[in-house]
Amino acid sequence: MIKLENVSMRFNLGIERNYSIKEAFISIFDKKRRLKKTDFWALSDVSFEVKKGEVIGLIGSNGAGKSTLLKVVSGVMKPTKGKVTVNGQISPMIELGAGFDIELTARENIYLNGAILGYSKEFIDEKFEDIVEFSELRDFLDAPVKNFSSGMIAKLAFSIATVVDPEILIVDEILSVGDIKFQEKSKNKMMEMIKGGTTVLYVSHSLESIEELCDRVVWLEHGKVVKAGNTKEICKEYYKKQLNK
Amino acid sequence: MTAIKNIMANFKKYKFLMSQLILRDFKIKYKRSVLGVVWSLLYPILMMAVMALVFSNMFRFQVEGVSYLVYLLTGIITFQYFSEASNLAMTSVVNNFTLINKVYIPKYIFPLAKCLFVGINFLLSLIPWFLIIVLTQFGLGNYPASINIYYLILPFIFVCLLLFTVGMGFFLSCVSVFLRDVFYIYGIVLTIWQYFTPIFYSIEIIPAKLQFFFQFNPIYQFLEASRTIVLYGQCPTALNLILCAVYAIIAMAVGCIVFKKNQDKFIYYI
């Protein structure tokens, strides 16, 4: 379903500073001012395979490369080296509500965001009621999203993102959305999707939810796979390592 | 063949997204304005009125034997389309960075959607444009414009204008990702470009030696072709029409190649 073969991802830290004509001009004359090419490997030589229906958890400290990995899999970034093969339709829930336009109403945003996630018009028409129902925002449907609270925006975004039955679901820490009631509801929805045979890549810092949901775990550190395999064992080891440091 | 098939499949897949992006621009453009979309009709007319007043009354500009109002309006809407669309297209990739960084969307969609959005506005502004042409038949201004069979060539000219603008949009949006200075530089380039395009003056007032160089201004070619039809009731010269197509194809080819080659690198620079 998802196959990563020796995937490496390089960021050039120098390049990502402000780059302008002025800088370029100065650097011609002043060698010291030239942008140093400091390579940073967000991922190096990562290989693993996810089979259909599996739920894989990704753990690791901040900056370990988890989110980069998700971006590579979802096609947002192309790996510098290596190969990513993905079979099946992906629903990325990397960041909820990325495609919202705050000037538009909730109703309009459902269509816009749906389109960004790759849904067809017919599909959104059909599922519109479900989305509204799940988001609990029926009364605010025609209000501009800029007047929404962040919780409301997250609820709406979650409802749009999860209305599909995707073959592959990519989740980056989103279960803690909205109030307690909605958190419970969204967790159930996720469980439902997972049990429905969806392949899931799941990133979270909550080991509790990882242990609960995942079949296998991949532990990343400094862009490398430290360990992969049994959820319980690796989570335990990871927890120990984190606290000792 | 398969490449073309892929492109078509890609278009089809993202057709809905494209229409949503265009719709969003429309909604936001006319939000909280009482006249709303009427502005698309009114704006070119008012611009024309102001410029006609300034140039024909104060500076005594006129173009011998043709309706100055139609001459002016044709220039205004054509250049207005080009400058607005290419400007919006230029900033579109950078402005949609949050999206590009989070969801996979083919990036060409953003500049293309902007060019089409402004294109719809352009089509709307053809309504008052045609209205003025009709009114000149009834004595508006000093000379009547012409309504004739060659109007059928106009869509071809407009498509060339669109393709040229989209190509420029691809190129500019791509370069501006790496070099934000382009935002400012292009603003100045546009101003210069505007003055070197015969929008309110006739090319006849330019010294004969310099007139030749205007041939290299694509916008001039588009303008020349549509003015020949509308003002003189004649078919544009073959050279004129061929040049329209050539400029459109060159811009499109350069834009597409540059964009395609660099689009995977966008994510590191935004």
CATH number (domain holding residue A162): 3.40.50.300
pLDDT for A19: 59
**Residue ranges of A 106-135 with Cβ closer than 8 A to chain B:** 108, 111-112, 115-121
> Average pLDDT of B158-177?
96
> Average pLDDT of B142-159?
92
Indicate yes or no: CB of B103 within 8 angstroms of CB of A116: yes
Region of A171 (left: φ > 0; alpha: ψ -120 to 50; beta: rest) is: beta
Look at residue A3 and tell me if it is in a domain. Answer: no
**Which member of B24, B179, B264 has the closest CB to residue A104?**
B24
Q: Give the residue on B whose Cα is nearest the Cα of A111.
A: B20
> Which residues on chain B are in Cβ contact (under 8 Å) with A112?
20-21, 24
CB-defined contacts A:B, below 8 A: 72
pLDDT for B174: 95
Indicate yes or no: CB of A76 within 8 angstroms of CB of B99: no
Look at residue B16 and tell me if it is in a domain. Answer: no
Q: pLDDT digits over B66-93, tens only?
A: 888 899 999 999 999 999 999 999 999 9
Enumerate the β-bridge partners of residue A41: A10
The residue ranking higher by pLDDT, A235 or A34, is A235
Indicate yes or no: CB of B28 within 8 angstroms of CB of A95: no
Q: B26 in contact with A at a CB cutoff of 8 Å? A: no
Query: What is the Cβ-side half-sphere exposure of residue B227, based on CA atoms within 13 angstroms?
Result: 28
Look at residue B19 and tell me if it is in a domain. Answer: no
> Is A217 strand, coil or helix?
strand
Look at residue B21 and tell me if it is in a domain. Answer: no
Indicate yes or no: CB of A12 within 8 angstroms of CB of B268: yes
Query: pTM of the full predicted structure?
Result: 0.87
Look at residue B77 and tell me if it is in a domain. Answer: yes
Look at residue A228 and tell me if it is in a domain. Answer: yes
Distance CA B117, CA A208 (A): 48
Indicate yes or no: CB of A104 within 8 angstroms of CB of B180: no
Domain residues for the domain of B87 are 41-269
> Average pLDDT of A230-237?
85
Look at residue B27 and tell me if it is in a domain. Answer: no
Q: B101 in contact with A at a CB cutoff of 8 Å? A: yes
Q: Which of A76, A113, A142, A153 to mutate to test the interface with B (most CBs of B within 10 A)?
A: A76
Q: pLDDT digits over A116-175, tens only?
A: 888 889 999 999 999 999 988 899 999 999 999 888 888 888 888 888 877 888 887 665
> Which residues on chain A are in Cβ contact (under 8 Å) with B99?
98-99, 116
Q: Where are the beta strands (DSSP E) in chain A?
A: 2-12, 39-50, 55-59, 81-86, 90-93, 168-172, 199-203, 216-221, 224-230
> Which residues on chain A are in Cβ contact (under 8 Å) with B28?
101, 103-104
Indicate yes or no: CB of B101 within 8 angstroms of CB of A76: yes
Look at residue A11 and tell me if it is in a domain. Answer: no
Rounded to 5 degrees, φ, ψ at A209 are -70, -30
> Which residues on chain A are in Cβ contact (under 8 Å) with B23?
108
Q: What is the domain count for chain A?
A: 1
Look at residue A227 and tell me if it is in a domain. Answer: yes
Look at residue B45 and tell me if it is in a domain. Answer: yes
pLDDT for A187: 80
Indicate yes or no: CB of B181 within 8 angstroms of CB of A121: no
**Which member of B27, B99, B264 has the closest CB to residue A104?**
B27
Q: pLDDT digits over B6-18, tens only?
A: 878 888 888 899 9
Q: What is the domain count for chain B?
A: 1
pLDDT for A108: 92
Is B4:B102 a contact under the CB 8 Å cutoff? Answer: no
pLDDT for A206: 82
**Which member of A20, A77, A112 has the closest CB to residue B20?**
A112
Domain residues for the domain of A77 are 50-244
Q: pLDDT digits over A9-55, tens only?
A: 888 765 555 556 677 777 677 666 655 566 788 888 888 888 888 88
Q: ipTM of this model?
A: 0.81
Look at residue B150 and tell me if it is in a domain. Answer: yes
Percent pLDDT > 90 in chain B is 59
Look at residue A237 and tell me if it is in a domain. Answer: yes
DSSP string for A159-175: HHHTSS--SEEEEES-S
Look at residue B20 and tell me if it is in a domain. Answer: no
